[in-house]
């Protein structure tokens, strides 16, 4: 169990991070026992680590129920992240303009391994909760943003991704057939934008345009989600797409010349 690259690896710190990761949408507050169970750590270790995190202000503790919860520090980390990501500063004002212009929800997504992660969201319409908050990770293959990015990758890399990257059925209409996804991405490569329908939620259509980095690969995408009840694919392409692409294209140049992403 200590087979990590030993000497410059601090186990206690890693265990502490396990505690932090135990919190997610299904586990919003946890008792000591639940924490121990979810992390696989024993009771004493959990007690010490949780207490440390509490003392250091990373976990709030309800004085009566004694349950732990993420603290405001978790939001401050997002704040620090925003400053560190050069994309955000470039994109934010343009995204605001776009969302005001369209009157529809606009998102900024980055590639993160085989998932995409939403780094900025500007909701204009009432939607389900998860669609309004940042930091959500979704399988890249099932999102318009992910497909738009993938479409800019070299042929072999793209094929490998389509074959191996994960897909989770979120709705009955989530595309599980990888051949169909390949077609969708091929279209995106041809057209310069991607469309997805009902992948994450029924009757939702997503359109996305890639943001291209210094190496010609997309590392992010501007995305727009609309309801299939009020929009058709044709009207999306005629009314939304041009502005969406203008925005993505306006952001890209800053990253064509220099380097872009981390590790």
123 belongs to the binding site for a copy of itself (CB under 8 A) = yes
Helix (H/G/I), strand (E/B), else coil: 192: coil
What, of DNA, a copy of itself, none, does residue 43 touch, CB below 5 to 8 Å by kind?
DNA
Question: Looking at beta carbons only, is 49 or 149 nearer to DNA?
Answer: 49
Residues that bind DNA (CB under 7 A): 2, 7-13, 15, 31-34, 41-45, 47-49, 66-67
The residue from 101, 114, 134, 228 that contacts a copy of itself (CB under 8 A) is 134
Q: Pick from 198, 109, 103: which is nearest to 145 by CA?
A: 109
Question: Looking at beta carbons only, is 124 or 189 nearer to a copy of itself?
Answer: 124
Place of tokens 């998860």: 130
137 belongs to the binding site for a copy of itself (CB under 8 A) = yes
Least distance CB 8 / DNA (angstroms): 6
The residue from 31, 37, 38, 92 that contacts a copy of itself (CB under 8 A) is 92
Q: Residue 40: left (phi > 0), alpha (psi -120 to 50), or beta? A: left
- Token pair listed for 147: 């497909």
79 belongs to the binding site for a copy of itself (CB under 8 A) = yes
89 belongs to the binding site for a copy of itself (CB under 8 A) = yes
Contacts of 202 (CB under 8 A, 6+ apart): 171, 172, 173
58 belongs to the binding site for a copy of itself (CB under 8 A) = yes
Question: Looking at beta carbons only, is 119 or 195 nearer to a copy of itself?
Answer: 119
- Rounded to whole angstroms, how far apart are CA atoms 4 and 185? 38
101 belongs to the binding site for a copy of itself (CB under 8 A) = no
- Alpha helix stretches (DSSP H) within the chain: 11-21, 32-39, 43-55, 73-84, 86-102, 144-150, 155-164, 178-191, 233-235, 241-251, 253-257
């Amino acid at each position: 169990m200590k087979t990590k690259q030993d000497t410059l690896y601090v186990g206690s710190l890693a265990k502490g991070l396990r505690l932090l990761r135990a919190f997610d949408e299904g586990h919003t507050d946890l008792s000591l026992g639940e924490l121990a169970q979810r992390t696989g750590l024993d009771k004493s270790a959990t007690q010490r680590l949780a207490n440390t995190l509490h003392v250091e202000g990373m976990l709030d503790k309800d004085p009566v129920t004694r349950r732990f919860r993420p603290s405001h520090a978790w939001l401050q980390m997002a704040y620090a992240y925003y400053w560190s990501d050069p994309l955000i500063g470039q994109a934010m004002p343009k995204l605001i303009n776009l969302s005001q212009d369209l009157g529809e929800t606009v998102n900024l997504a980055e590639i993160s391994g085989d998932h995409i992660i939403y780094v900025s969201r500007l909701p204009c319409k009432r939607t389900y909760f998860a669609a309004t908050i940042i930091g959500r990770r979704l399988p890249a293959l099932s999102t318009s943003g992910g497909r738009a990015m993938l479409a800019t990758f070299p042929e072999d890399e793209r094929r490998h991704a389509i074959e191996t990257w994960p897909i989770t059925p979120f709705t009955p209409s989530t595309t599980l057939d990888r051949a169909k996804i390949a077609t969708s991405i091929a279209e995106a490569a041809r057209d310069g934008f991607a469309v997805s329908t009902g992948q994450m939620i029924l009757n939702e259509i997503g359109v996305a345009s890639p943001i291209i980095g210094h190496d010609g690969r997309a590392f992010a995408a501007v995305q727009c989600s609309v309801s299939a009840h009020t929009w058709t694919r044709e009207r999306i392409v005629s009314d939304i797409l041009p502005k969406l692409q203008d925005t993505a294209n306006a952001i890209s140049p800053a990253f064509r010349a220099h380097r872009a992403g981390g590790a």
